[in-house]
Amino acid sequence: MTNGKLERVTRAVYPGSFDPPTNGHLDVIERAAGCFGELIVAIVVNPQKRTPMFSLQEREDMLKASATSIGGVRVEHFRGLLADYVKAAEADVIVKGLRVVSDFESEMSAAMMNRSLSDVDTLFLMADQKYSFVSSSLVKEVFFLGGDVAALVPEPVLRVMAEKRNNLQRR
């Protein structure tokens, strides 16, 4: 970025459940890594109101295998409020991905809440439109019902998902 204001922004946090990471997430990570000096991909340990299918360790391993080859990216995790995490991490901005207009409704209130709690702004990046229908929950549903999701998740994620499906089938 050459814009004066954005140039001062160096550390961004891209938070999410990443249960599992998808190619849509990776697309946002690549775009954000191109905008900011440092990008922390921050996995929420316990997503609100649901138990993740993949353990924190699995989510962390999948993200590290898929994303840390991109320069300036590191993977961390956090518990509790995102606003507290970004303050402790001394982040300049929160990055969120938008797929479709309906994502914006909930993201707008979350962005305002996070700004009021931490004084940190949220910047939105559009994932490539070929990922506009891709979500972690749909990917899980399709995969565990036998559908092909190879084009929708990074290769390391597909391997972990296949292992989990095999383990579940053996039970």
Identify whether 99 is a catalytic site residue.
Answer: yes
C-beta closer to ligand PNS: residue 1 or 104: 104
Question: Nearest 5 degrees, angle CA 120-CA 134-CA 89?
Answer: 25
Site for ligand PNS in 114-153 (CB under 6 A): 114
Residue 51 binds ligand PNS (CB under 6 A): no
For 129, which DSSP code?
Answer: G
Identify whether 49 is a catalytic site residue.
Answer: yes
Burial of 22 (0-12, 13-18, 19+ CB in 10 A): buried
Contacts of 155 (CB under 8 A, 6+ apart): 66
Cβ contact 70:30 at 8 Å: yes
Binding-site residue total for ligand PNS (CB under 6 A)? 12
Site for ligand PNS in 76-95 (CB under 6 A): 81-83
Identify whether 25 is a catalytic site residue.
Answer: yes
Footprint of ligand PNS (CB under 6 A): 15-17, 44, 47-48, 81-83, 110, 113-114
Q: Give catalytic residue positions.
A: 25, 49, 99, 136
